[in-house]
């Protein structure tokens, strides 16, 4: 006996591919997948960014490096600004800073970020005034 499709049967019972539960699942999957992909791309970009680009003179990465250098020299400036870019290219970034010390003096720092192989390095000179 052939089955008749009665008008009272729902679309999910008839096998319609665009059923509301399936559409909701697809929509929920999209709502989860798209932000997840964006987060993964952002993490990859920022994680790999340091491997391919030298830091800018006033970047947080440069400030942390400069703070570590000055801490080793037992110089702790009041603030880490202004940091000036003297020149910048893909192979090196040359920077200068005149930083105030707590005792009223200043420290002048000339520093350069450069590539040594695939590693970013820093070369610096520090003068207390």
- Residue 11 in this model has a pLDDT that exceeds 50: no
Residues with Cβ within 8 Å of 113's Cβ and at least 6 positions away in sequence, in order, are 54, 55, 62, 92, 93, 95, 120, 121, 122
- What does the pLDDT look like over 57-106, one tens digit per residue? 988 888 999 999 999 999 989 988 789 999 999 899 999 999 999 988 99
């Amino acid at each position: 006996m052939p089955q008749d499709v009665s008008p009272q049967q729902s679309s999910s019972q008839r096998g319609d591919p665009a059923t509301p539960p399936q559409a909701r699942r697809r929509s929920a999957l999209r709502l989860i997948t798209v932000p997840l992909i964006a987060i993964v791309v952002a993490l990859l970009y920022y994680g790999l960014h340091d491997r391919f680009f030298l830091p800018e003179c006033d970047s947080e990465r440069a400030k942390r490096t400069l703070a570590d250098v000055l801490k080793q020299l037992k110089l702790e400036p009041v603030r880490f600004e202004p940091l000036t870019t003297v020149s910048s290219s893909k192979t090196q970034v040359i920077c200068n800073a005149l930083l105030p010390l707590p005792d009223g003096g200043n420290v002048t720092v000339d520093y350069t970020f450069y590539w040594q192989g695939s590693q970013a390095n820093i070369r610096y000179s520090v003068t207390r005034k």
